Amino acid sequence: MRESSARSIGVFLSEISKGEKLARSLRECGASVAILNGYSEDLSRQFDCIVAEIGLLNEREIQAILDSSTALVLIEKAVEELHRTEDAEYSLGQFSNSALLRILPRNATSSRIKCTIYQLFAKKDSLLSSKNTIAAAQSQLRTLLSSLPDIVYVLDEQGYFLYLNESIGLLGYLPSELVGKHFGTIIHPEDRPNISRDLVVEKIRQDNIMPANPPKLFDERRSGSRMTRELEVRLLHKDGHVIYAMVNAYGEKAFDVPLFSDVVGKKLQTIGVIHDISAMHLYQESLEESLAAKERLLREIHHRIKSNLQLVASLAHLKQIDAQSSAAIEVLRDLETQIKSIALVHEALYQSERIDQLSARDFFGQFCHFAEEALERVGSTVQIRVSAEDYPLDPNLLVPLSLALLYLLEGAYKVSYDRHEKVEVSLSFMRGQDGMQIIEMNGEGILENANSIVMQALLRQAHTSLIIPNTEKGRPSCHLIEEAKS
């Protein structure tokens, strides 16, 4: 046992002879041994281990020895002696969990006491090694946290800061300036009711309605799948300006080993990380402003194109007055109608809520109203009924598609004119199960121009196929089906 020669042991026994015998045995192993006549406050700091009889130390003295990480061996006294000693009237049960305390019977031999002492030394070395390891881990953790660009915070149960790393400097504070203060100090007043646990829970209680998704909280106390992730919040810099941040937080009920030495003994409730997203937020705002500016520009372009096309249509209308033949008038009238049809597409895009797509219900409603006005002839009556789902249309295909529909409708107007009777045409737009867009038209005369060269060219431009079902009975019909995109 020479490896323990540096150990110092204090022996505090009422029987001097027994104490001296134990001291000789320990000195043979190279230990430094002192016979004690009483207890003093600095006793625990002088020795690695103290051997004492129960009753010679009171509860406070035992606790002081164990708190100083000094090993303690207590020797039981005879029952009749315990009854005669007032200081012995206490229970050792409160110390039963101490790893550095052993209680031996009165008749324990010097060899047994000595063996127990060195077992405690081994335990003490193990605990010391563990503490050193934990201290090193704590030091490394603090170094890591201090080097993180994100703010790391710990809140107690009431929402007061227990810990903040140095990155709190992003808000203009030192950690010491906020530790002990409520987290609401750094939250924008308008955001507090939405992210503060007490306020959110109280609102849920008043409304008596549980939210579909768990609320995101700055002082989160849940963990796992219900923890707070990517909570966007506005923080207040010390000088008052706003910083946009994203928070991830979870609840931690207790730590077996505290991670932060300055909150040892306190019940940790929330651990969170704050990431500064001000730059991303400003970039997003600039993108939205740029997109809005481009959208305004595109709307203006569509408006100007529509105005220019209306001007060309007006010129075509005026040319009809000077035309010398009915054939020329017919050509100019068709040209005017087609130009107005193209202008209608740009007008619809100009008025649409989204510049990149049109509502099928709105567009086909406008288109059929325009077609009735543009194709109307003296002596012809065509009533167009339209039914369309509210589905977005690709504006890039609308010009050739609208011209193709005009060609189909022209046939109905020609039949009405030739027969001097009213013709009813129905146009319905729907979405197939495979997502393809389908336009179904029914009515007399709509197939008059179905096979023309112009119609085939327009259908190719619109990426649309014209399907004519076999209708031996009933009104002629056709389907315009969007071709599958490769």
Residue 155: closest CA among 255, 45, 43, 270: 270
What confidence score (pLDDT) does residue 1 get? 38
- What gap in Å lies between CA 129 and CA 298, rounded to an integer? 72
What confidence score (pLDDT) does residue 82 get? 46
In the chain, which segments carry CATH 3.30.450.20? 149-276
In the chain, which segments carry CATH 3.40.50.2300? 2-143
Do residues 253 and 282 touch, judged by C-beta distance below 8 A?
Answer: no
Q: Which is the CATH superfamily of the domain at 2-143?
A: Response regulator (3.40.50.2300)
Cα separations in angstroms, 390 against 19, 31, 363, 433: 100, 94, 10, 15
Cα separations in angstroms, 474 against 381, 439, 441, 444: 20, 18, 13, 10
Residues 6+ apart with CB under 8 A from 201: none
- What gap in Å lies between CA 243 and CA 237, rounded to an integer? 7
What confidence score (pLDDT) does residue 77 get? 76
Question: Domain 357-486 belongs to what architecture?
Answer: 2-Layer Sandwich (3.30)
What confidence score (pLDDT) does residue 325 get? 80
Instruction: Name the region of 224 (left: φ>0; alpha: ψ -120 to 50; beta: rest).
Output: left
What confidence score (pLDDT) does residue 261 get? 52
What confidence score (pLDDT) does residue 213 get? 83
What confidence score (pLDDT) does residue 99 get? 87
pLDDT tens-digit profile of 115-140? 999 899 888 888 888 777 777 777 77
Residue ranges, the chain, pLDDT below 50:
1-5, 80-89, 256-257, 486
In the chain, which segments carry CATH 3.30.565.10? 357-486
What confidence score (pLDDT) does residue 475 get? 80
Q: Which is the CATH superfamily of the domain at 149-276?
A: PAS domain (3.30.450.20)
Cα-Cα-Cα-Cα dihedral sign, residues 311, 312, 315, 316: negative
Do residues 151 and 273 touch, judged by C-beta distance below 8 A?
Answer: yes
For the stretch 304-325, what's the b/e string if a residue is b when 16 or more beta carbons lie within 10 angstroms of its beta carbon? ebbeebbeebeebeebeeeeee
